[in-house]
Amino acid sequence: MRYNEAAFIGQQRSRAAQMKLFDYAGFAMLTYTIKKSPKDDGFLPVGEGLFVSKAIYENNIIIYLTDEEGYAKAQTKPMSIIEGEKIFEKILSDDMKVFDGELKTI
């Protein structure tokens, strides 16, 4: 797929994830919208799947919404671990699945 096509589709998918994460956290940044194709012959949009993941950095946590391959589509700002865990649990209670693999972030 050509870059501009992948970027357009990926941007739509990532914006939807950003808005969903915004509803939970009050702030969300767009991250990945495209990825290289597995055969390295072009680009692909981030996947349609929506999973939640988290990463702890010292005394802060960031919550991510990812595709099925772990590409972060949206992320929160760094926040306290207690606050982040509450948001993470709320997302899980709404039946979103956890992505447990390698997280790909910016």
Structure confidence by residue, pLDDT tens digits, 1-26: 889 999 999 999 999 999 999 999 99
pLDDT score of 38: 84
pLDDT score of 24: 98
pLDDT score of 106: 82
Spatial distance between the Cα atoms of 76 and 96, rounded to a whole number of angstroms: 16
Q: How many CB atoms lie under 10 A from the CB of residue 46? A: 26
Asked if the structure places residue 77 within a domain, the reply is yes
Q: What's the number of domains the chain is made of?
A: 1
Asked if the structure places residue 14 within a domain, the reply is yes
pLDDT score of 105: 92
Asked if the structure places residue 21 within a domain, the reply is yes
pLDDT score of 70: 97
pLDDT score of 72: 97
Look up the domain containing 88 and give its range.
Answer: 3-98
Asked if the structure places residue 103 within a domain, the reply is no
Asked if the structure places residue 34 within a domain, the reply is yes
Q: Which stretches in the chain have pLDDT values below 70? A: none
Asked if the structure places residue 106 within a domain, the reply is no
Q: How many CB atoms lie under 10 A from the CB of residue 81? A: 15
